[in-house]
Amino acid sequence: MSLDRDQVLREAAALLARRPTASMDEIARAAGISRATLHRHFPGRDALVRALGELGIAQVEERLDAARIEEGDPVAAVQRLIEEAMPVSGFLAFLYGENQLYDLPGITEGWSRVDRRVGALFRRGQEEGVFRFDLTPAWLGEAMYALIAASGWCVQDGTVARNDSARMVSELLLGGMLRRPS
């Protein structure tokens, strides 16, 4: 048996993305389990929401590691990060839209940890002279999050092909943030 905890959380995220007010019963049915079982693993809605946030942070940090954003050419690092993020863009898109998840104790710290790492990447790109100076690292980070989330939604409803999504994001983002020799 041993319930696939992450899978349940993903189903919950997919449902909550569409209907933020969905009941625990609906979430359970969407995940293909009974309400009792859902409640055994996540004692209450708060616990479920918190688990969603924690899974999201873990996912993102894992992708940051996989992309090795601290190493090498900043442009290539951004490309690797976007590439790595694409497989979970749907889940990231959900997290991005849930402002509710940001002011939970313990969750906030996780996201600011992520923000620091991402901000450092863009700052490094500026210091190395490849990223524009007139767009702040914080804004570049937010823009990247926004575009990744947008691509996740586009893939979900078929506007953008999954294979193309990474290119769409990085072409637009890097195109706009690179310093031009001219």
Partner DNA sequence: TTCGATTGAGACATTCCCGTCTCATACGAT
Partner DNA sequence: ATCGTATGAGACGGGAATGTCTCAATCGAA
Q: Which residues would be at the binding site for a copy of itself (CB under 8 A)?
A: 17-21, 97-100, 103, 132, 134-136, 138-140, 142-143, 145-147, 149-151, 153-154, 159-160, 168, 171-178
CA nearest neighbour of 128 among 80, 75, 171: 75
- Cβ 127 to DNA shortest distance, Å: 48
Task: Using CB under 7 A, pick the residue from 6, 7, 20, 25 that binds DNA.
Answer: 25
Q: Which does 72 bind (CB under 5 to 8 A by kind): DNA, a copy of itself, none?
A: none
In the complex, the smallest distance separating the C-beta of residue 37 from DNA, rounded to whole angstroms, is 3
- Please provide the size of the chain in residues: 182
81/87 Cα distance (integer angstroms): 11
23 touches DNA by CB under 7 A: yes
In the list 19, 20, 32, 62, the residue contacting DNA (rule: CB under 7 A) is: 32
Of 137, 167, 143, 139, residue with least CA distance to 155: 167
- Residue 174 interacting entry, from DNA, a copy of itself, none, C-beta within 5 to 8 Å by type: a copy of itself
What tokens appear for 116 in the block?
Answer: 């620091």
What minimum distance in Å lies between the beta carbon of 1 and a copy of itself? 31
Total residues at interface with DNA (CB under 7 A): 19
Report how far Cα 50 is from the mean position of its chain's Cα atoms: 15
10 Å CB burial of residue 146 (0-12, 13-18, 19+) is middle
Q: What CA–CA distance (Å, rounded) separates 70 from 72?
A: 7
Nearer to a copy of itself, 28 or 150 (CB): 150
Cβ(122)–Cβ(174) below 8 Å: no
Which residues bind to DNA, rule: CB under 7 A? 1-3, 23-25, 32-37, 39-41, 43-46
